[in-house]
Amino acid sequence: EDQVTQSPEALRLQEGESSSLNCSYTVSGLRGLFWYRQDPGKGPEFLFTLYSAGEEKEKERLKATLTKKESFLHITAPKPEDSATYLCAVQAGGATNKLIFGTGTLLAVQP
């Protein structure tokens, strides 16, 4: 069964304390993996797309990496404005052609 699991469910960091969020997946034929940020009361906002193992993307303090089984979202020296829920989504290939979202990691960065 196609599945996307994000961990931890919640993470509290001090400002400047770097960490990583995990997205592990089990799908038949990965077509793409997406990271989104969601602020309270708003729709998800696109961050990155990764298509193949070994690929990396960066944007400001965020860096996304991809292996054959999981993706990491690394946050370097986070600031309070990085506080949000981070969602991972995987596009499965084959007959299913499904876009499957994880349940997200709620990140709180304290000053």
Residue 45 makes contact with other proteins by CB under 8 A: yes
User: For tokens 């599945």, what's the residue?
Assistant: 3
Q: Name the nearest CA neighbour of 82 among 32, 29, 51, 45.
A: 45
Residue 78 makes contact with other proteins by CB under 8 A: no
Nearest-angstrom CA–CA distance, 99 and 14: 33
Q: How far is the CB of 91 from other proteins (least distance, A)?
A: 3
Instruction: Return the residue of 86, 91, 105, 109 that touches other proteins, per CB under 8 A.
Output: 91
**CA angle (94, 66, 2) in 5-degree steps:** 35
Instruction: Return the residue of 1, 14, 42, 68 that touches other proteins, per CB under 8 A.
Output: 42
Residues that bind other proteins (CB under 8 A): 4, 31-32, 34, 36, 41-46, 49, 87, 89, 91, 97-99, 101-104
